[in-house]
Amino acid sequence: MYCSNCGTQLEENSPLCNSCGTRSDVTQPVSPLAPQQVVYQQQPQQLYSPQPVYYARQPTPPGRGLSIAGMVCGIVGLAFTLISLGFIGLPIAIVGLVLAIIGKKKLNAVGATSGMATAGLVTSIIAVGLSLIVTIACIACVGAIGSCGTTLFSDLINELIYY
């Protein structure tokens, strides 16, 4: 018997080829002068899960937190204004406006995107405007009721006491 890999003659009952180490149980009788045939065997595929790719966490630019806080304050101020509590929404919206302006300046200084700061700025400006309108309307209504109410209240008391 000859080795199917290198063509060397094998010893009887030898499990491996002494020259190349190929197993002899898969050998076929081959003459040493015959051209060697190259046998390609497919490597078994290893079953493994792909390794996750880790990216370095980008540092948060200064002002990003202020921008988010400004937007949240603007939204909360707008919500309080829309439920007719303009006197509560006004200070919250002013705080949101200040935070959004500071955050936008810091983000622009480092060249980062300032979309969140712009959103906070817009919502805070809308909340301040609406809060002022609602607060002025409430003060006008209370004043109108107060001026009309004194005559109505005194007329009611006079009717109850004297009649």
Q: What string of H, E and C letters represents the secondary structure of 130-146? A: HHHHHHHHHHHHHHHHH
One-letter amino acid identity for 52?
Answer: P
Q: Determine the pLDDT at residue 159.
A: 73
Q: Which two tokens stand for residue 69?
A: 């806080």
What are the tens digits of pLDDT across the range 106-124?
999 988 888 899 999 999 9
pLDDT for 131 beyond 70: yes
In angstroms, the Cα distances linking 76 to 41, 71, 81, 94, 125 are: 69, 9, 9, 11, 12
Q: Determine the pLDDT at residue 79.
A: 92
Instruction: Sketch the domain layout of the chain as residue ranges.
Output: 1-36, 64-162
Of the pLDDT bands very low, low, confident and very high (cuts 50, 70, 90), residue 126 is very high
pLDDT for 43 beyond 80: no
Distance CA 96, CA 108 (A): 18
Of the pLDDT bands very low, low, confident and very high (cuts 50, 70, 90), residue 150 is low
Of the pLDDT bands very low, low, confident and very high (cuts 50, 70, 90), residue 163 is low
Q: What is the DSSP string of 27-45?
A: -----TTSPPPP---PPPP
* Length of the chain, in residues: 163
Distance CA 124, CA 114 (A): 15
Q: Which two tokens stand for residue 119?
A: 């959103």
What are the tens digits of pLDDT across the range 19-39?
777 776 644 555 555 556 666
Q: Is the pTM of this model over 0.75?
A: no
pLDDT for 78 beyond 60: yes
Min mean pLDDT across 3-7, 93-97, 121-125 is at: 3-7
Q: Which two tokens stand for residue 86?
A: 């303009």
